[in-house]
Amino acid sequence: MNTGMRYRNASPGKKLFIILLQLVMLTYVVLIIYPLFNMVISSFKSTRDIMLRPFSLPESYSFENYVTIWVDKGFGRYFLNSLLFTGCAMVFVVLLGSMAAYGIARYKFRGNTLLYMLFLSGIMLPLKAAVIPLFQIVKSLGLMDNPFSVILVFIAMGLPSTVFILSGFMRTIPGELEQAARIDGCSDLRIYSQIVMPITAPSIALATIYNAVPIWNDFFFPLVFIQSDKFKTLPVGLSSFIGQHSTKWDLLFTGLSIAIVPMLLLYLFMSKYFIKGLTAGAIK
């Protein structure tokens, strides 16, 4: 792209505009970094300290709070459950989502648009408003207090946007590629898995982050469908701090700091592809 926002060579009015914008954006950066920083340092402080001197640095860095919450409060188990639930759900979201996107984007058949609309409507229809019938469905499937209920709902949550993003991209892949492979005797499954999927990787990164974050952070469905402590997830464990009158802020901040690590890692790891995926025409 050309150099429209270079400070040098800009007219005085534009210089002022650029300075103003830089100020706004730097303020926003501070507003992002500070809470993150504050959250992590607070995890090393005592509740008393957090309340009385919220800006101060901790006196010492001991991992006492981390041990307490990980072991005594059972967050170790919640963390593993969250990893397991999110991991399972995301594997199926990407697998089934890319398959469906491939089927819809690369085959012409009657009902094609209707199927696409089915997935699209899933983006528009808020799943939380469906909690009563979902409860009925899960109950009749005998999946109450069973991790599968939450995982299935998570998959349903992630599929529509994944199909939307991936099919949008797959439509832009030239048909010759596929025809050439077909002439070489590739089966449809191999075309999907070895030709289309690798090209689609940036869009898959986009769909993964777009869906893994809300799934990892969701506390609504695990709260509704899970009762046993052994199946609880990290956000559910954290939500138990809501509305308490004497919140243990030190432990809460420790839990919050633990909870953001996997998503931060995922994002840093994928951000290059993620941004490429956005630009690749998944969202035009």
Partner 1 sequence: MTKARNWKKAAWVTFFVLPGAAIVFVFILMPLFMSLFNSFFSWNQLIRGEFIGLENFKKLFTGYPYQERFANALGNNVKWFVVTMLVQNTLGILFGYVLSRGIAGHGTYRRIFFIPVLFSIIAVGFLWGLYLKPKGMVNSLLSLMGRQDLTRAWLGDGSIATYTIIAVNIWRWVGFPTLVFMSAIDNVPAECTEAAYLDGVNEWQMFFRIVLPLIVPSITIISVLTIIGSLNVFEQVYTMAGLDGPPNYATDTIGTLFYRTAFGSVDSGAPEIGIGSAIAVIIYLMTFGISLCSILFTKSKEVEL
Site for partner 1 in 229-268 (CB under 8 A): 235, 238-239, 241-243, 249, 252, 256, 259-260, 263-264, 267
- Show contacts with partner 1 in window 170-229 (CB under 8 A): 188, 192, 213, 216-217, 219-220
One-letter amino acid for residue 209 of the chain? I
* Minimum gap (Å) between residue 97 Cβ and partner 1: 6
Q: Return the number of the residue (227 or 279) whose C-beta is nearest partner 1.
A: 279
Contacts to partner 1 from residues 86-115, by CB under 8 A = 96-97, 99-100, 102-104, 107, 109, 115
Query: Segment 39-78, which members bind partner 1 (CB under 8 A)?
Result: 39, 54-55
Q: Is 5 one of the binding residues for partner 1 (CB under 8 A)?
A: yes
Least separation in angstroms between CB 60 and partner 1? 22
Among 16, 23, 91, 130, binds partner 1 (CB under 8 A): 130
Amino acid present at 190? R
Q: Provide the minimum distance between the beta carbon of 130 and partner 1 in the complex, in angstroms, as a whole number.
A: 3
Stretch that binds partner 1, among 60-68, 70-78, 157-165, 176-184 (CB under 8 A): 157-165
* Site membership for partner 1, residue 18 (CB under 8 A): yes
- Position among 16, 80, 91, 123 found at the interface with partner 1 (CB under 8 A): 123
